[in-house]
Chains A and B, each alone.
Chain A
Amino acid sequence: MPNLCVNIAGIKMKNPFTVGSGTFGNDGEFEKFFPIELLGALTPKTIRSYEWPGNPPPRLAEAAAGLLSSVGIPSKSWERFVKEDVPVLKKIPIPVIQSVIGRTEEEYVEIVKKCSDLGVFAGIELNLSCPNLKQGGLSFGSDPQASESLIKKVRKQTKLPLIAKLPPDYSNIVNVAKAVESAGADAIAMINAPRAMAIDYKTRKPVLGNKVGALSGPAIKPIAVYLVWEVYKAVSIPIIGMGGIVDFRDVIEFMSAGARAVAFGTINFIDTQAIPRALKDLENYLIENNIDDVNEIVGCAHC
C-alpha cells in the first residue's frame, strides 16, 4: 500500500483530501453518502463572528462546465455556532480546519481568537475573499500589504496552523502568497472561486440576486492549476489546491503542479460519490505507477 499521508503545517492528514469550504454542507448532509473519516481533513463552511443572512436569491446559475454562485456566506451568531455546531465538530474523528472571514482586521482577529480558544480545531483557514470595508471594498486577499498586515495581527491570536485562502481575481496572487508567507501564514489554500457574473439576454439584467457571483467547477480548473504552479515556485509553505477537481486525474494534476493536499468543491453538489471514488482511484494509480508515497508527486511537474 502506498503512503497517502500528508502533513500541512503540522496538520496530519491520512490522505491529501479535504473539501472546499462551503461545498460540504454544515449539517451532516454528506454523512448519508460516505463516512466523513474517509477524508484527510474537514473544512466546514466559513463562519463570521456575527449573524449574517447571506445574499438575496437567485443565488445560483449554471455555466458551461461550472456553477455561478453568490451565496454570500450566511452565518449564525457565535453563540448558536458554539451551541449547535461545535458539539458536532468536536466528535469528528479527523482534523477540522475552520474557515473564518471578517470585513475588517478587527473582525478577523475576533473570530480567529474565538475559534482558537475553543480548542477544537486543527487549524484555521482565513477566507481572504471578503471586501475590506476600510479599503474601499477591495478584498484583503487581492492586496499584498493588506494581507500581510492582517496575517501579522491574527498570527498573534493563535498557535494553530494558519492557512490563507487566496482569491484569484487580481493578477498578483504570487505577491499575495509571498506576503502571507512572510507574515507568518503556515499554508496557502487556493483558489477561491473567481468573481463572475451572468446577464439574462431577455431582460438584459444580472441573473443573480447579488448581481455579481463567483464561478466554480471544471470551468476554472486550468486557471487554478496554473496559479498553483506559479505560487509553488514562489513560496515554500504547503499549498492546498482546488478549483474544478472532479476525479483522481485532477488530484494528480494539482499535486504535480505543487499542491500537497487538494479540496473537492462544487463536484460534491453533483456527485456525492466523487470523493470516495477518487480516493480509491488515486490509490490504484499510485500502485500501478510504482509510487510508494503520494508526497513524491508534489511539484513533480516542475522538474
Chain B
Amino acid sequence: MIKSVKAEIVENKPIAPEFFRMTLKAETLASEGLPGQFVMVKVSPNLEPFLRRPISLHQINREEATVSLLYQVVGKGTRLMSETQKGKVIELLGPLGKGFTWSDSDRVVALVGGGCGTAPLVALAHSLLEDKKEVHVLLGAQTKEKLVCEEDFISMGAKVKVATDDGSYGHHGFVTDLLKNLIHDVALDMVYSCGPLPMTKEVVKLTQEASIPCQISLEERMGCGIGACIGCVCKVRTKDGAFTYKKVCKDGPVFKGEEVMFDD
C-alpha cells in the first residue's frame, strides 16, 4: 500500500560523474516495492523546492529491508538529495505506480537502458534472473565515465552490452543499434525499456517491426505522484483509433509499447 515513510539514509555516495546512489532503511518499500515502481522524494525539510521529485526504485533488498535510488544530479532537487548526509532521515511517498510485469512463458528477455533510465532496470533484472529467465541488458551512456551499473548486471548473471555516444567504450553509437542486432540474433519474448524519449520511441519501433511485445517506462513532470493532480499524462490509443490521456504516475509509469501515442 502507498505510504508516507520516513527513511534513514544508510548510504549516499557518487558512483559516476553526476550519478549518486542512495540506500535507505525502509521496510514497507523493501517488502512491497516492485521493479518499475517509484517514490516521491521530499528533497528538503521545507517547501523549497516546492514539489517532491519522482525517483525509481533501483534496488529492492527484502532481507535487509532497504531500497536504493540511483539518481543523476540535473537540478536543484537532485542536488539537494546529493548533499543529504548519511544518517539523516528523508521523507518519501511510495511505492507508487504500476511496475514492469512478466509471465512464466517468457524465457528470453532484453532490458534497454539509457542514462539514469538504467536505474529501475537493476531491480527488474534481479527479479527476472530470480525467475530463471535469460536476461540480456543493453546499456547506453554518453561516455564510458557516465556508464552506470554495468558490474551490477554482470555480477547478477545478465549478459551485458554497452554503447557510448562518443565511442569511449563498447559500441560507438546508439544503444538501439545493439537492440537491432540482438533482435536479429536472439529470439526475444519481451523487451523492457527505460531511458530518454528518443531511445524509447526507437525501441518501440524496432520491437513492433519484429512483433516482440515491449514495456516502456515513461517520464513526465509530476505533481503528486498518486493520481490526484492529473498533471502527468501521456496519450494512449483507444480502440476506436482516437486517444485518451492516462496518468503516468498511476496508470504507469510502465506502459505497453504499442499503446502509447507519441506526438510527431
Enumerate chain A interface residues (CB-CB to B < 8 A).
22-25, 27, 29-30, 32-33, 53-54, 57-67, 69, 71, 74, 217-218, 246, 268-270, 272-273
Contacts and interface: CB of A to CB of B under 8 A. Distances in A.
A29 B93 CA distance: 13
A127 to B, nearest CB: 15
A64 B51 CA distance: 10
Nearest to A246: B47
23 contacts: A22-B230, A25-B227, A29-B224, A32-B1, A57-B232, A58-B220, A59-B230, A59-B232, A60-B223, A63-B50, A65-B47, A65-B50, A67-B223, A69-B223, A69-B229, A71-B229, A218-B47, A269-B51, A269-B228, A270-B42, A270-B50, A272-B4, A272-B93
A242 to B, nearest CB: 16
Contact of B233 (A27, A32, A54): A54
Contact of A270 (B2, B51, B233, B243): B51
Contacts of B232: 57, 59-60
Contacts of A270: 42, 47, 50-52, 224
B49 A60 contact: no
B50 A25 contact: no
A67 B228 CA distance: 14
Interface residues on B, range: 20 to 34
B168 to A, nearest CB: 27
A175 to B, nearest CB: 32
A201 to B, nearest CB: 14
Contacts, number: 87
A61 B52 contact: no
Contact of A71 (B3, B49, B231): B231
Taking each of A22, A32, A60, A63, which has the highest tally of chain B beta carbons within 10 Å of its own beta carbon? A60
A258 to B, nearest CB: 25
Report whether over half of chain A's contact residues are helix, strand or loop; otherwise say mixed.
loop
Interface in B209-241: 220-224, 226-234
B251 to A, nearest CB: 11
A23 B50 CA distance: 15
Chain A to chain B: the 7 pairs with minimum beta-carbon distance, closest first: A25-B228, A269-B224, A60-B231, A29-B228, A59-B231, A269-B223, A60-B221
A57 B234 contact: yes
B76 to A, nearest CB: 9
Taking each of B52, B93, B229, which has the highest tally of chain A beta carbons within 10 Å of its own beta carbon? B229
A208 to B, nearest CB: 10
A238 B50 CA distance: 31
Contacts of A22: 229-230
Report whether over half of chain B's contact residues are helix, strand or loop; otherwise say mixed.
loop
Given A71-B230, A269-B229, A32 B223 contact: no
Contacts of A24: 228
Given A22-B229, A25-B228, A30-B228, 17 more contacts: A25-B227, A54-B233, A57-B234, A57-B245, A58-B221, A59-B221, A62-B50, A66-B50, A67-B50, A71-B230, A71-B231, A74-B245, A217-B50, A218-B47, A218-B50, A269-B228, A270-B52
Contacts of B233: 54, 57, 59
Nearest to B230: A71
Given A32-B1, A60-B221, A67-B223, A74 B52 contact: no
B259 interface: no
A23 B47 contact: no
Contacts of B244: 53
A161 B239 CA distance: 41
A231 B244 CA distance: 40
B48 interface: yes
A33 B229 contact: no
A218 B50 CA distance: 9
Contacts of B3: 32
A53 B245 contact: yes
Interface string B1-14: 11110000000000
Contacts of A53: 243-245
A237 B93 CA distance: 40
A129 B234 CA distance: 25
A93 B258 CA distance: 42
A32 B226 CA distance: 11
Contacts of B229: 22-23, 25, 60, 69, 71, 269
B4 A33 contact: yes
Nearest to B229: A269
Contacts of B230: 22, 54, 59, 71, 74
A18 B223 CA distance: 20
B245 A29 contact: no
A39 to B, nearest CB: 15
A27 B230 CA distance: 11
Contacts of B224: 29, 268-270
A67 B220 CA distance: 15
Interface in B1-31: 1-4
